[in-house]
């Protein structure tokens, strides 16, 4: 997949994400296991990313 990117703004960081994971609670939220979810949702309760910073705006 190719995503068209804008130029970096002040305080932006360009990075390559190699691996990521998602909190198990987010999976329950996505599936509405606990009820009360209004879709669409963005589930980012807890996320871990391993990658490299390629460019920091300067």
Check residue 33 and give its pLDDT. Answer: 94
* This prediction's pTM: 0.45
For the cut 80, the answer to whether the pLDDT of residue 53 exceeds it is no
CA 51 to chain centre: 13
Torsion, Cα 7 9 12 15, to 10 degrees, reads 10
Q: Is the dihedral of CA 12, 17, 22, 26 positive or negative?
A: positive
How does pLDDT run across 11-47, given as a tens digit for each residue?
888 888 788 777 888 888 889 999 998 888 877 766 6
3-state secondary structure of 52: strand
For the cut 70, the answer to whether the pLDDT of residue 58 exceeds it is no
């Amino acid at each position: 997949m190719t995503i068209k990117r804008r130029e970096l703004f002040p305080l932006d960081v360009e990075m390559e994400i190699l691996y990521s994971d998602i909190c198990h609670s987010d999976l329950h939220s996505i599936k509405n296991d606990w009820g009360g979810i209004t879709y669409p949702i963005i589930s980012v309760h807890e996320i871990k990313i391993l990658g490299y910073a390629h460019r920091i705006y300067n």
